[in-house]
Amino acid sequence: MAKTVEEVADLMFNMVKDAQGQKKLKPMDLTKAMIEQYGDEVDKKLCKAAIKQLINSGRCVYTYFGGSYVELPHREGAAND
């Protein structure tokens, strides 16, 4: 059965949380992982919508370190007060 946007967003959020501080994940890494794990239950469009929801809700943010990644909101090392 096809997954909902909310379900995929939760699954992606867990991936980002588990990887935080260890590996930076690109949006395409999240999409590929979902398709690999859940096959026909997800597709690229659904994954795109899930990432949009994660970012719009503020649970995750985009970051840029040479390339763009999806991470949990945090204070970056370079930031001054």
Partner 1 sequence: MAETTYKTPLLDELEKGAWPSFVKEIKMAAKRSPMANDLLGQLEHSYKEKIGHWKHGGIVGVMGYGGGVIGRYSDMPAEFPGISHFHTMRINQPAGWFYTSESLRQLCDIWERHGSGLTNMHGSTGDIVFLGTRTEELEPTFEELAKIDFDIGGSGSDLRTPSCCNGMARCEWACYDTMQACYQLTQDFQDELHRPAFPYKFKFKFSGCPNDCVASIARADMSFIGTWRDDIQMDQAEVKKYADDGLDIQRDVVDRCPSKCMAWDGKELSIENSFCVKCMHCINVMPKALRPGKDRGCTILIGSKAPIVEGAQLSSVLVPFMKMEPPYDDLKDLIERIWDIWAEEGKNRERVGEFIQRVGLGNFLEAIEVEPIPEMVAHPRENPYVFYEEYYEEDEGEEEEAEA
CB of 80 to partner 1, least distance (A): 4
3-state class of 70 per DSSP?
A: strand
**Residue 62 in contact with residue 68, Cβ under 8 Å?**
yes
* Token pair in block for residue 46: 């659904």
Query: Which region among 1-9, 14-22, 47-55 touches partner 1 (by CB under 8 A)?
Result: 47-55
Phi then psi for residue 2, to 5 deg, are: -65, 140
- Does 63 engage in binding with partner 1 (CB under 8 A)? yes
Q: Which residues bind partner 1 (CB under 8 A)?
A: 26-28, 32, 48, 51-52, 55-56, 58, 61-68, 71, 73-74, 76, 78-81
